[in-house]
C-alpha cells in the first residue's frame, strides 16, 4: 500500500510535467480535467490516512493480519450447527460452575480438530489464584487427552451489561492451541434457572476469533 502511494505520487509528478509541456501547445483542456480528478483522488487517499506520521498497522509485514476475518453478531437460530452445538454444550457445562465467591458462572466448550468436544466451567478457590476459568478448564481437559489443536470454541456467562468475553490469560492460552482464524462463539446465558437451560432463537451471538480477541499475542 505504501509502495502504491509512492507510485501514485511519481505518476502525479510526471503528469504535472506533461501538463506544463502540453500547456505550451494549448491542447491541455482534457488533460486538465483528468488531472483535477486525480488530485481529488489523491486528496481522498491522504484524507483517509489514520495517522499522518506513519502507516496503518495493517500495512506492516511484521505482524499477523488475517484481515479477511470479520467479527459479527447473529441470532442463535441463524448460527451454523458447529456454533449452536458448542454454545449449548457450554451452557450445559455452566450448570457445574463452582463459583461460591463471585457467583459468576461461566461455561465453555472447545472442539478439537478431530471433532471431539471438551467442556468446562469456572472453578473458584478460597485462596483465589488456584481457581481456573471455564475456557482453560475445557481446553486443559482436551490437552490432557492428547488434543493439541482446537477448531472452534464457545463461552457462555450471564452479565446484565452484555457479552462476557474471555479474560486476558485465557486469550493467550487459546492462542497457544488454536489458529488465529478459529471462531469463538460468545453468548449471554439465559437468566432463567430452568433445570435444562436453553437459548432463545433470537438470542444474540457474537462470532469472533482468536485473532480478534488477541491481535498482538505474545509469541516466541
Ligand atoms: Zn480466563
* Same domain, yes or no: 43 and 79: no
Whether residues 80 and 52 share a domain: the answer is no
Distance 107 CA to ligand 1 centre (A): 11
Which residues carry a binding-site annotation for Zn(2+)? Answer: 133, 167, 170
Give the tens place of pLDDT for each residue, 19-38.
Answer: 777 777 665 677 778 788 88
Residues in the chain: 220
Task: Provide the domain limits for residue 33.
Answer: 2-59
- pLDDT surpassing 70 at residue 122: yes
Provide mean pLDDT across the span 51-61.
71
Residue that wins the pLDDT comparison between 66 and 83: 83
Q: What is the CA radius of gyration of the chain?
A: 26
Q: Give yes or no: residues 111 and 18 share one domain.
A: no
Answer yes or no: is 65 within a domain.
Answer: no
Task: Please enumerate, by residue number, every residue annotated as part of a binding site.
Answer: 133, 167, 170
Residues within 5 Å of ion ligand 1, judged at the Cβ atom: 133, 167, 170
Residues 53, 88, single domain; the answer is no
Residues 6+ apart with CB under 8 A from 76: 84, 87, 187, 199, 200, 201, 202, 203, 204, 205
Same domain, 79 and 132: yes
Classify the C-alpha dihedral 202-203-206-207 as positive or negative: negative
Q: Are residues 104 and 154 in the same domain?
A: yes
Residues 155 and 208 in one domain: yes
Q: Is 176 a catalytic residue?
A: no
Domain tally, the chain: 2
111 and 181 share one domain: yes
d(CA 139, CA 114): 14
pLDDT at residue 89, rounded to an integer = 98
More confident residue, 9 or 121: 121
133 CA from centroid of ligand 1 (Å): 5
What tens digit of pLDDT does each residue of 206-215 get? 999 999 999 9
Confidence bin at 68 (pLDDT 50/70/90): low
Given 40, 124, 135, 176, the catalytic residue:
135
Is the pTM above the cut of 0.85?
A: no
Q: Residue 91 belongs to a domain with what CATH number?
A: 3.40.140.10
- Provide mean pLDDT across the span 101-128: 97
Q: What is the mean pLDDT of residues 79-85?
A: 96
- Residues 6 and 34 placed together within one structural domain of the fold: yes
- 130 C-alpha vs ligand 1 centroid, how far in Å? 12
Give me ligand 1 centre to Cα 168, in Å: 6
Amino acid at each position: 500500500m505504501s509502495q502504491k502511494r509512492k507510485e501514485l505520487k511519481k505518476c502525479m509528478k510526471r503528469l504535472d510535467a506533461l501538463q506544463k509541456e502540453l500547456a505550451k501547445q494549448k491542447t491541455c483542456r482534457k488533460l486538465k480535467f483528468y488531472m483535477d480528478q486525480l488530485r481529488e483522488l489523491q486528496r481522498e487517499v491522504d484524507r483517509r490516512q489514520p495517522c499522518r506520521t506513519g502507516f496503518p498497522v495493517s500495512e506492516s509485514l511484521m505482524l499477523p493480519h488475517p484481515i479477511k476475518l470479520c467479527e459479527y453478531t447473529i441470532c442463535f437460530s441463524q448460527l451454523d450447527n458447529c456454533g449452536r452445538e458448542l454454545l449449548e454444550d457450554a451452557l450445559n457445562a455452566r450448570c457445574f460452575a463452582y463459583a461460591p465467591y463471585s457467583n459468576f458462572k461461566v461455561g465453555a466448550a472447545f472442539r478439537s480438530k478431530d471433532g471431539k468436544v471438551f467442556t468446562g466451567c469456572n472453578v473458584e478457590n478460597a485462596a483465589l489464584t488456584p481457581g481456573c476459568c471455564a475456557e482453560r478448564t475445557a481446553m486443559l481437559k482436551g490437552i490432557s487427552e492428547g488434543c493439541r489443536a482446537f477448531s472452534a470454541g464457545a463461552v457462555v456467562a450471564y452479565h446484565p451489561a452484555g457479552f462476557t468475553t474471555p479474560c486476558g490469560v485465557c486469550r493467550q492460552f487459546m492462542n497457544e492451541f488454536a489458529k488465529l482464524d478459529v471462531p469463538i462463539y460468545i453468548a449471554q446465558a439465559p437468566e432463567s434457572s430452568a433445570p435444562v437451560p436453553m437459548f432463545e432463537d433470537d438470542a444474540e451471538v457474537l462470532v469472533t476469533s482468536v485473532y480478534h480477541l488477541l491481535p498482538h499475542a505474545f509469541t516466541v
